[in-house]
Amino acid sequence: MCKRHVTKTLKKTLPVLLSLLGVALFTFIAARAGIHPVMEALSKVGLGGFLLLAACQLVVDVGLGIAWYAAVPILSVKRLMAARLVRDSAGACLPFSQLGGMVIGVRATMAGVDPRTEQGEELHWPEAVAANLVDITTEVLGQIAFVLIALLCLIGHHDAARFVWPLIGGMALLSLGIAGFIWTQQRGGATVSKVATFLGRHIAAEWRESLIGNTAAFQSRLEELWSRPDRISLGALCHLVCWTGSAAMTWLGLHLLGAHVGFFSSVAIEGVVCGIMSAGFLVPGALGVQEASYVALGMIFGVDAEVSLSLSLLRRGRDILIGIPVLLIWQFVEMRRLRHERSAAKLENEPAAASLRKKVIAPAVTALTGNIKKEAVSRDGKTPEDSSFATARRVL
């Protein structure tokens, strides 16, 4: 009992502590770089450059939806693009860790009044969770390849050794972890049930029963998706292309800020930063972790701290510019779905309520009639028929 209480308390306090540490780290980096140099660097970008970066990010988001569809063709590419936008926006704009964004992404996969698969079947929680798990797995596979390419671009630069060997060790551990995760999705039925139960604790009650009660269907969907290794490989390859697109945005952002860095150096910066941010996935919004990574990597390639910090702020501003409207639209869609469900439930309950009223009122009327008759008999010892006959006018 005490151990469970400690675990519950840790779950509540750990995100808060990590957020405070992130804020402290961000404040320290901003103080060292200086506010005025950062603002001066950002002024070089201008509104046009900022909107250009946002437009490039939208192109990458479309690519992420296509990568998801490549691995999970049972859902429409339009639905997957929208769900991916919601998942990333929740992780970037809301005070959640990446795990919280994934849970919201599962719900976004089922957005709409009547969600269905490409085959016209109703879309339920088992399909949505399976689709998200496969997409996350293929994305990690693409990320591992991208970080390894980044390490190759990093080797040979001055003072790069302090990043190379830790990242190699981290990628080795991540590769073992993703291999175990893939095996679990394919053959770990008991583990899959535990995952479904864990996710069920963090969603609404009506969805919880659907998820936990359909673990067999959940496992069946996972096995169906993993039975096409060509699809999985294509999805991972598309994610690798999208990661390369992120490096291109880093290169563009640095040039807009006045730092002339080669494309392969941008690949090294973006790949190592993404690897470090993955290690700090429990920190909400990677606050402080992202800024420290950009500043540290920028120093290796001769980028000033204020420019690296400005690049990180541009990335956060771009994510907010895209994420806030996406989350607002998703909330509108969810409200529409809830209104539709309430209306449907009300229409279903009306016939049942009318039938119940009939069942209750009819016996009550019968009982009341019987009581009136009994009272009439007890008053004068005659039945109501006799009384009416006695008082009626006789016609001779």
pLDDT one-digit tens code per residue, 225-257: 888 899 999 999 999 999 999 999 999 999 999
Domain membership flag for residue 200: yes
Domain membership flag for residue 226: yes
316 and 362: one domain?
no
Say which residues have a Cβ less than 8 Å from residue 29's Cβ, sequence separation at least 6.
288, 291, 292, 295, 305, 309
- Burial category of 30 from C-beta neighbours within 10 Å (exposed 0-12, middle 13-18, buried 19 and up): middle
Position 376, amino acid: A
Question: Sign of torsion, CA 200 202 205 210?
Answer: negative
Beta bridge partners of 116: 122
Domain membership flag for residue 39: yes
What is the average per-residue pLDDT within 15-35? 77
What is the average per-residue pLDDT within 135-162? 85
Domain membership flag for residue 395: no
Contact indicator for 92, 315 with CB cutoff of 8 Å: no
Determine which of 154-163, 197-206, 243-252, 302-311 has the lowest per-residue pLDDT on average.
197-206
- The predicted pLDDT at position 395 comes to 39
Task: Kindly report, residue by residue over 257-316, the tens digit of the pLDDT.
Answer: 988 888 999 999 999 888 888 777 677 777 888 888 898 888 888 888 899 999 999 999
**DSSP H helical segments within 111-228, as ranges?**
125-154, 161-187, 189-200, 205-212, 215-226
Residue 85 pLDDT greater than 70, yes or no: yes
297 and 364: one domain?
no
73 and 184: one domain?
yes
- The predicted pLDDT at position 240 comes to 96
Q: Tally the residues of the chain.
A: 396
276 and 142: one domain?
yes
Lookup: tokens for 392? 């009626």
Task: Kindly report, residue by residue over 40-53, the tens digit of the pLDDT.
Answer: 888 888 899 999 99
Domain membership flag for residue 389: no
Say which residues have a Cβ less than 8 Å from residue 76's Cβ, sequence separation at least 6.
69, 118
Banded pLDDT at 56 (limits 50, 70, 90) = very high
Residue 202 pLDDT greater than 60, yes or no: no
Of residues 31 and 145, more confidently modeled = 145
Residue 115 pLDDT greater than 70, yes or no: yes
Banded pLDDT at 390 (limits 50, 70, 90) = very low
Domain membership flag for residue 396: no
Of residues 12 and 52, more confidently modeled = 52
373 and 302: one domain?
no
| Residue % of the chain over a pLDDT of 90 | 30
What is the average per-residue pLDDT within 22-44? 81
- The predicted pLDDT at position 8 comes to 59
Unique residue bearing structure tokens 């659907």: 210
Beta bridge partners of 38: none
Position 106, amino acid: V
What is the average per-residue pLDDT within 89-111? 81
What is the average per-residue pLDDT within 139-147? 92
Range of the domain at 254: 2-348
Q: Distance between CA 45 and CA 51 in Å, rounded?
A: 10
323 and 379: one domain?
no
Helix axes 125-154, 98-109, angle to 10 degrees: 140
Lookup: tokens for 87? 């998942």
Of residues 118 and 75, more confidently modeled = 75
Q: Distance between CA 234 and CA 214 in Å, rounded?
A: 29
Domain membership flag for residue 254: yes
79 and 218: one domain?
yes
Q: Distance between CA 97 and CA 19 in Å, rounded?
A: 10
111 and 26: one domain?
yes
377 and 250: one domain?
no
Banded pLDDT at 393 (limits 50, 70, 90) = very low
- The predicted pLDDT at position 172 comes to 82
Lookup: tokens for 258? 């006045």
Residue 132 pLDDT greater than 90, yes or no: yes
Query: How many domains does the chain fold into?
Result: 2
Contact indicator for 265, 225 with CB cutoff of 8 Å: no
Neighbours of 192 (CB within 10 A): 22
Residue 396 pLDDT greater than 70, yes or no: no
273 and 367: one domain?
no
Q: Distance between CA 109 and CA 127 in Å, rounded?
A: 9
Q: Distance between CA 25 and CA 161 in Å, rounded?
A: 23
- The predicted pLDDT at position 231 comes to 94
363 and 339: one domain?
no
362 and 244: one domain?
no
Domain membership flag for residue 307: yes
